[in-house]
């Protein structure tokens, strides 16, 4: 089966052709322009490739309630050219194949559980901590959406006692994204992300915020596997510190095999940087 996949981000779109085994045969990256120009490039890339279905993991917010008139629309994004844009409808019209859509991070969660090392997991939580922070949750092979898709990056944080940064979220100040995203730390330190050394004090705070968020997700969702991706997680000291602080915070309250083995419970994406695009292939398999 020939499948198309799109990972749509605010700065670039990754376009790929692959199959139902999660194998990618061709992949390109294009800069995100306005919808008309981007749609033309998507059309040109997939033309003649005989894809039978397409999956897209897209930046949001998105309307994902199939009962709503604006199902498949990008809604209130600050990327104004894309606000209130019917991306699902336009892709269906443009490519003439069934299309399935989800958020980029839910797509990554689906990619990990469908094509990664975590196929046997009953539930999987994928959190990305980078330019933004978001989470996707898959239960028995299905992405969890409700009233809308989860917005896990915006839960409130209790401030680290030594951190004086007020937080950068325009809506909440000191929410998870406002305290621990890459741009938040640039604002906190006054340095470019690439200039902040790994041993900078700010990463102590960020590890603590991530551990605090994970504690909430564990208590609310009880995931059987947690995968952490995104640029901030590329810092080598983050994983061990997050596991250590999380263990302290949980303080022995929840007793499970998984929490006894945090090394395997809280882990890196098994698909590396391809969780998102392979997740889009998994979405294509669900397209109707």
Nearer to Zn ion, 175 or 215 (CB): 175
Contact 40, 120 (CB under 8 A): no
In the structure encoding, which two tokens stand for residue 255, read together?
């007793």
Q: Can residue 169 be called a binding residue for Zn ion (CB under 5 A)? A: yes
Looking only at residues 11 through 70 of this chain, which bind Zn ion when binding is defined by CB under 5 A?
A: none
Task: Provide, rounded to whole angstroms, the least separation between the CB of residue 29 and Zn ion.
Answer: 28
Sheet holding 123-129, edge to edge: 142-143, 133-139, 123-129, 226-229, 266-267
The piece of 67-75, 83-91, 162-170, 254-262 that touches Zn ion (CB under 5 A) is 162-170
CB-nearer residue toward Zn ion: 116 or 153: 153
Shortest gap between Cβ of 178 and Zn ion (angstroms)?
A: 5
The DSSP 8-state label assigned to residue 81 in this structure reads G
Angle between helices 87-95 and 35-46 (to 10 degrees): 40
24 pairs with which residues across the strands? 18
Interaction of residue 129 with Zn ion, rule CB under 5 A:
no
172 binds Zn ion (CB under 5 A): yes
Tokens of 134: 């978001």
Residue 183 CB, nearest approach to Zn ion (Å): 12
* Residue 175 makes contact with Zn ion by CB under 5 A: yes
Q: Could you say whether residue 157 binds Zn ion (CB under 5 A)?
A: no
Nearer to Zn ion, 129 or 175 (CB): 175
- Chosen residue from 27, 79, 144, 154 binding Zn ion by CB under 5 A: 154
Q: Of 42 and 180, which has the nearer Cβ to Zn ion?
A: 180
DSSP 218-279: HHHH--S-EEEESGGGGSTTHHHHHHHHHHHHHTT-S--HHHH-HHHHEE--TTGGGHHHHH
Q: Cβ of residue 134: shortest distance to Zn ion, in angstroms? A: 11
In degrees, to the nearest 5, what angle opens at C-alpha 266 toward C-alphas 260 and 271? 140
Q: How many residues bind Zn ion (CB under 5 A)?
A: 5
Pick 70 or 172: Cβ nearer Zn ion: 172
d(CA 149, CA 63): 8
User: Footprint of Zn ion on this chain (CB under 5 A)?
Assistant: 154, 169, 171-172, 175
């Amino acid at each position: 089966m020939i499948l198309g996949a799109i990972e749509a981000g605010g700065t670039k779109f990754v376009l790929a052709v692959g199959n139902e085994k999660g194998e990618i045969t061709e992949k390109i990256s294009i800069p995100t322009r306005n919808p008309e120009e981007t749609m033309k490039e998507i059309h040109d890339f997939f033309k003649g490739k005989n894809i039978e279905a397409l999956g897209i993991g897209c930046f949001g917010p998105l309307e994902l309630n199939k009962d709503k008139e604006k199902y498949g629309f990008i809604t209130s994004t600050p990327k104004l050219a894309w606000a209130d844009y019917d991306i699902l409808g336009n892709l269906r019209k443009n490519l003439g194949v069934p299309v399935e859509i989800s958020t980029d991070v839910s797509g990554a969660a689906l990619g990990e559980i469908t094509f990664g090392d975590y196929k046997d997991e009953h539930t999987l939580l994928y959190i990305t901590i980078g330019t933004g922070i978001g989470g996707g949750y898959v239960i028995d092979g299905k992405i969890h959406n409700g009233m809308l898709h989860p917005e896990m990056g915006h839960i409130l944080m209790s401030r680290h006692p030594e951190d004086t940064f007020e937080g950068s979220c325009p809506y909440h100040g000191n929410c998870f994204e406002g305290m621990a995203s890459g741009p938040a730390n640039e604002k906190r330190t006054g340095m470019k992300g690439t200039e902040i050394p790994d041993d900078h004090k700010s990463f102590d705070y960020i590890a603590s915020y991530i551990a605090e968020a994970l504690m909430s997700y564990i208590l609310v969702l009880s995931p059987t596997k947690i995968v952490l991706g995104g640029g901030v997680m590329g810092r080598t000291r983050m994983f061990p510190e997050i596991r250590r602080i999380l263990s302290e915070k949980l303080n022995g309250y929840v007793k499970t095999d998984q929490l006894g083995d945090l090394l395997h419970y809280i882990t890196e994406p098994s698909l590396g940087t391809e969780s998102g695009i392979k997740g889009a292939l998994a979405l294509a398999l669900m397209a109707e």
